[in-house]
């Protein structure tokens, strides 16, 4: 993980936020390559979940919502961690993680040793960020930064159903930022205070076979992660036990990815059967009927909700961890670092190099880069030995490198080198665009 | 505008946030059609500004940043509106807009009449939303929701320049949410407390011809808005006068769009020459050197910045206003409402209809919809008279309607109807995908 964090900074995937000011607590910025990788992931999710289906509608709800939303959802009362303060050193710890906590004043001491600490009773600390809206700072104008995007879907349920004329079963999907004032964030972009969710809420008839839909979405979502190239043996389901299950939930599975090292298997997505908890709470708190009207069967009911909720940052991290490898190259002294990212989500699709900086090769290669850039993200590089330029592209996961050499100037073909197999073949320069389109689809 | 707001709600472009709770103050949610329209706009900007150019890098910086960022930027001290309170009615007004303000207790009174008001002296009210980060609520843990995305670019300037190996002149671009606690938001999605910016900061050599780059970006950005189909006579430049110009700014132009009605010409984008103000402030406040090193000329310097900053929501509104028209249809009793949106950014590309619900037409049309949906957002509709289905698609800006009729079942062709010209032609069903690709490029 340390090597990956260093690579991410050096090559422009991910920087610490406000780094020149010493950083902002567990907040990260996506640099030129990171933003493209994450965009590709989000676009794939949006296409699979919204555009390619006729039974899911898209939404982009705002981060700021009416404060009553969070009373109805249960977050104001229950979205808390129990905290204890130490009266001696003034540090604050999660009460349920005291055994792992270390006194900040005595770093030599082992975690969990609190022999001369003077700890307060546990107090509940709400994880929502609070702010005030409008010019007057009073309690009526409190607003929260949403801790999840799901509530934006529930409160818009009827508006969307009516505008889109969808019939149950159907879903609503959105991608957006959420915020949690985590006490112990960490592990790079795995747990951060500002993060991005890709959530879909699927509304089903409680009198029909809703467990079948639950199983359907479990399967679909696992298949989606596999389609990103995440290794099969690094993905698993974790079923929530009775104890883990929220009181209203009928079933819940996490999709876990093996991040390796001390992190191991961790949740990257949750598939939850939430019953009619959310809609019935909003119906109660808003005083507005949120029932779906089935005009054919002449019934009104609150649908059940199957939720699929995936962390965009965690999935980005999983793709990076899954792809990172160091390997020996046959016949070469130095090894190489490769980000074996699926070509379809790689931030740069092709590196384009003139073999040497003369004989018209730079001009030919630059022209090729200009033509390809309209359709694919490509990177032109003429500096340093060709081997070094290959290594630079391997390290950021570029699947193809196109080299313009002496033969190009004679027959118009370029060398196409494959990142993973290292195989090289010659392709006519005017066919490269079609070649890439085929290899990237 | 009222008709447009109503259409936007009814058809699922834009809903009021938390509407079932009476709405959140000037915050809006993008519904199924709105989210696609805005995505298309943002994708076009990203392609034009980042992917199609080799001299601009992308970034996605976090909303939460180190609080010193906003001291350096001048927002903590200066991003304020002067406010006065009325001691009688407790209302708060912008001091510089008192002449337009109306007493909320006496709605019959004319704006600007404050005969028996007891107003306080003006006090400065900061427009940044404030929150606290981490578990302890003290002044050290204050965080602001960014009021602009630009600062995320400035603080990452050197990290990105080094990781991407760009040479000046080059730019950094990002799309992201920003927040301003506006006293008088309004006009639908024109001025909202939560909004989305598309900003690009272009770094140029202060010893070179930076005004030429300023002129270049003015031209490029105006051309981009025209490429969305915004009418030429509804777009204009507004040059900031000496009085309007920020003290550090060397020149500034707004690109204004004519929203019509009482709103008239309003800013949708700003093109600003900011000199080296931002980088020099961050250099001073962070204590870190932010100079660019020109290794060829052996010079170090702080570059000048040309900023192009466009509101994604305002541009979306401009596209909607620009496209909305009511017109008489020759030979028909009822008129029609059309959203004349450029086909490339229209949320739905084609409506697909069986002429009648029998003779295999629905099956044929559904199959065609399934095949097309993998590549284009399409909408299948079999309910109601065909004329009514056309009208529904006209109203949401769908450029093409494909109808499966009796002839289809014989020769495999479908009717393609053009939204704007109403012309109909027959196209073989298996050629429709290519036809759409051509018409949409």
Half-sphere exposure of residue B197, counting CA atoms within 13 Å on the CB side?
28
Look up residue B77 and give its two tokens. 């001290």
**Which pLDDT score is estimated for A94?**
80
The answer to whether residue B159 neighbours chain A at the CB level (below 8 Å) is yes
Query: Residue B205 — very low, low, confident or very high, per pLDDT cuts 50/70/90?
Result: very high
Beta strand residue intervals within A213-298, DSSP E: 235-239, 251-258, 265-275, 292-294
Residue corresponding to tokens 């939560």: B194
Cα gap A100→A110, rounded to integer Å: 9
**Which pLDDT score is estimated for A138?**
57
A351: closest CA of chain B, how far (Å)? 13
- Please answer whether residues A237 and A256 qualify as being in contact, where contact means their C-beta atoms are separated by less than 8 angstroms: yes
Is 80 exceeded by the pLDDT of residue B72?
A: yes
DSSP designation for A169: S
**Structure ipTM:** 0.94
The answer to whether residue B19 neighbours chain A at the CB level (below 8 Å) is yes
The answer to whether residue A22 neighbours chain B at the CB level (below 8 Å) is yes
**Which pLDDT score is estimated for A55?**
97
**Which pLDDT score is estimated for B51?**
96
Task: Locate the chain A residue with the closest alpha carbon to B132.
Answer: A129
Largest CA distance in chain A: 81
Cα gap A3→B200, rounded to integer Å: 31
- Span of A32-41, B85-94, B253-262, B420-429 with lowest mean pLDDT: B85-94
Residue by residue, pLDDT tens for chain A (441 residues) are 899 999 999 999 999 999 999 988 788 999 999 999 999 999 999 999 999 999 999 999 999 999 999 999 999 998 888 888 888 877 778 888 787 777 777 777 777 777 878 888 888 888 999 998 876 655 558 999 999 999 999 999 999 999 999 999 999 999 999 999 987 778 899 999 999 999 999 999 999 999 999 999 999 999 999 999 999 999 999 999 999 898 889 999 999 999 999 899 999 999 999 999 999 999 999 999 999 999 999 999 999 999 999 999 999 999 999 999 999 988 878 889 999 999 999 999 999 999 999 999 999 999 999 999 999 999 999 999 999 999 999 999 999 999 999 999 999 999 999 999 999 999 999 999 999 999 998
- Residue A21's alpha-carbon distances to A18, B58, B142, B286, B289, in angstroms, are 5, 22, 14, 5, 12
Handedness of CA A158, A161, A165, A167 (dihedral sign): negative
Cα gap B268→B266, rounded to integer Å: 6
Select the residue of B53, B62, B369 nearest A17 (Cβ to Cβ): B62
| Interface residue of B8, B31, B316 to substitute, partner A, most A CBs within 10 Å | B31
Q: Quick one: three-class SS letters along chain B?
A: CHHHHHHHHHHCCEEECCHHHCCCCCCEEECHHHHHHHHHHHHHHHHHHHHCCCCEEECECCCECCCHHHHHCCHHHHCEEEEEEECCCCCEEEHHHHHHCCCCCCCCCCCCCCCCCCECCCEEEECCCEEECCCCCCHHHEEEECCCCHHHHHHCHHHHHHHHCCCCCEEEEEEEEEECCCCCCECCCCECCEEEEEEEEEEECCCCCHHHHHHHHHHHHHHHHHHCCCCHHHEEEEECCCCCCCCCCCEEEEEEEECCCCCCEEEEEEEEECCCHHHHHHHHHHCCCCCEEECCCCEEECCEEEEEEEEHHHHHHHHHHHHEEEECCCCCCCCEEEECCCCCCCCCCEEEEECCCCCCHHHHHHHHHHHHHCCCCEEECCCCCHHHHHHHHHHCCCCEEEEECHHHHHHCEEEEEECCCCCEEEEEHHHHHHHHHHHCC
**Which pLDDT score is estimated for A147?**
97
Asked if B83 lies within 8 A of A135 by C-beta distance, the reply is: yes
**Which pLDDT score is estimated for A435?**
97
Highest-scoring range by mean pLDDT, A74-88, A114-128, B116-130, B197-211: B197-211
**Which pLDDT score is estimated for A123?**
83
Query: CB atoms < 10 A from the CB of B440, how many?
Result: 17
Cα gap B197→B176, rounded to integer Å: 6
| Interface residue of B13, B18, B130, B347 to substitute, partner A, most A CBs within 10 Å | B18
Cα gap B397→B395, rounded to integer Å: 6
A77: closest CA of chain B, how far (Å)? 17
Cα gap B53→A441, rounded to integer Å: 23
**Which pLDDT score is estimated for B50?**
97
**Which pLDDT score is estimated for B136?**
63
When the pLDDT of each residue in chain B is averaged and rounded to a whole number, the result is 93
Which neighbouring-strand residues pair with B170?
B203
Reduced to 3 states (helix: H, G, I; strand: E, B; else coil), residue A340 is: coil
Angle between helices B2-11 and B312-323 (to 10 degrees): 100
The answer to whether residue A19 neighbours chain B at the CB level (below 8 Å) is yes
| Interface residue of A5, A21, A393 to substitute, partner B, most B CBs within 10 Å | A21
- Span of A344-353, B25-34, B285-294 with lowest mean pLDDT: B25-34
**Which pLDDT score is estimated for A135?**
67
Residue corresponding to tokens 């006519």: A428
A425: closest CA of chain B, how far (Å)? 26
More reliable by pLDDT, A432 or B27: A432
The answer to whether residue A83 neighbours chain B at the CB level (below 8 Å) is yes
A295: closest CA of chain B, how far (Å)? 14
Look up residue A125 and give its two tokens. 């600390």
**Ranges of H-type helices in A100-233:** 150-155, 157-164, 210-227
Q: pLDDT tens across B315-363, in order?
A: 999 999 999 999 998 887 888 999 999 999 999 999 999 999 999 999 9
Cα gap A122→A93, rounded to integer Å: 9
The residues in A 198-257 lying below 8 A from B, measured between CB atoms, are none
Q: Which residues contact B365 (CB under 8 A, 6 or more apart)?
A: B352, B353, B354, B380, B382, B402, B404
Is 90 exceeded by the pLDDT of residue B194?
A: yes
Query: CB atoms < 10 A from the CB of B411, how many?
Result: 10
**Which pLDDT score is estimated for B172?**
98
Q: pLDDT tens across B223-276, in order?
A: 999 999 999 999 999 999 999 898 889 999 999 999 999 899 999 999 999 999
Half-sphere exposure of residue B19, counting CA atoms within 13 Å on the CB side?
18
Please give the average per-residue pLDDT across B390-407, as a whole number: 97
The answer to whether residue A10 neighbours chain B at the CB level (below 8 Å) is yes
- Burial (Cβ within 10 Å: 0-12, 13-18, ≥19) of residue B192: buried
Q: pLDDT tens across B134-183, in order?
A: 766 555 589 999 999 999 999 999 999 999 999 999 999 999 999 999 87
Cα gap B58→A35, rounded to integer Å: 7
- Burial (Cβ within 10 Å: 0-12, 13-18, ≥19) of residue B195: buried
Q: Quick one: three-class SS letters along B418-432?
A: ECCCCCEEEEEHHHH
Which neighbouring-strand residues pair with A94?
A83
**Which pLDDT score is estimated for A357?**
96
The answer to whether residue A330 neighbours chain B at the CB level (below 8 Å) is no
């Amino acid at each position: 993980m340390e090597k990956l964090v260093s690579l991410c900074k050096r090559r422009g995937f991910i920087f610490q936020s406000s780094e020149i000011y010493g950083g902002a607590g567990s907040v990260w910025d996506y640099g030129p390559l990171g933003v493209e990788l994450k965009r590709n992931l989000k676009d794939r999710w949006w296409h699979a979940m919204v555009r390619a289906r006729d039974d899911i509608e898209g939404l982009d709800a705002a981060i700021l919502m009416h404060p009553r939303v969070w009373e109805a959802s249960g977050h104001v009362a229950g979205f808390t961690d129990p905290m204890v303060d130490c009266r001696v050193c003034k540090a604050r710890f999660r009460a349920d993680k005291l055994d792992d906590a270390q006194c900040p004043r005595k770093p030599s001491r082992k975690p969990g040793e609190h022999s001369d600490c003077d700890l307060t009773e546990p107090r509940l600390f709400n994880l929502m960020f609070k702010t005030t809206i409008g010019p007057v700072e009073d309690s009526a104008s409190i607003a929260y930064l949403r801790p999840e995007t799901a509530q934006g879907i529930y409160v818009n349920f009827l508006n969307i159903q009516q505008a889109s004329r969808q019939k149950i079963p159907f879903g609503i999907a959105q991608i957006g930022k959420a915020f949690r004032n985590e006490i112990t964030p960490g592990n790079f972009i795995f747990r951060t205070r500002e993060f991005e969710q890709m959530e879909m809420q699927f509304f089903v008839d409680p009198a029909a076979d809703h467990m079948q839909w639950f199983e359907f979405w479990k399967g679909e979502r696992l298949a989606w992660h596999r389609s990103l190239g995440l290794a099969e043996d690094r993905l698993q389901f974790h079923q929530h036990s009775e104890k883990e299950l929220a009181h209203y939930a009928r079933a819940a599975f996490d999709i876990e990815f093996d991040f390796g090292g001390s992190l191991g298997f961790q949740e990257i997505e949750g598939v939850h059967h939430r019953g009619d908890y959310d809609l019935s709470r909003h119906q109660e708190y808003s005083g507005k009927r949120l029932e779906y009207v089935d005009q054919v069967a002449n019934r009104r009911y609150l649908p059940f909700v199957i939720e699929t909720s995936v962390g965009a940052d965690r999935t980005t991290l999983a793709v990076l961890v899954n792809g990172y490898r160091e390997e020996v190259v046959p016949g070469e002294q130095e090894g190489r670092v490769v980000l074996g990212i699926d070509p379809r989500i790689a931030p740069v699709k092709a590196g384009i190099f003139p073999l040497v900086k003369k004989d018209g090769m730079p001009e030919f290669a630059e022209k090729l880069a200009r033509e390809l850039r309209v359709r694919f993200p490509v990177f032109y590089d003429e500096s340093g030995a060709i081997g070094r330029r290959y290594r630079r592209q391997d390290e950021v996961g570029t699947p193809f490198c196109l080299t313009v050499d002496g033969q190009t100037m004679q027959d118009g073909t370029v060398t196409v080198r494959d990142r993973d197999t290292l195989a090289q073949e010659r392709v006519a320069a005017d066919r490269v665009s079609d070649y890439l389109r085929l290899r990237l689809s």
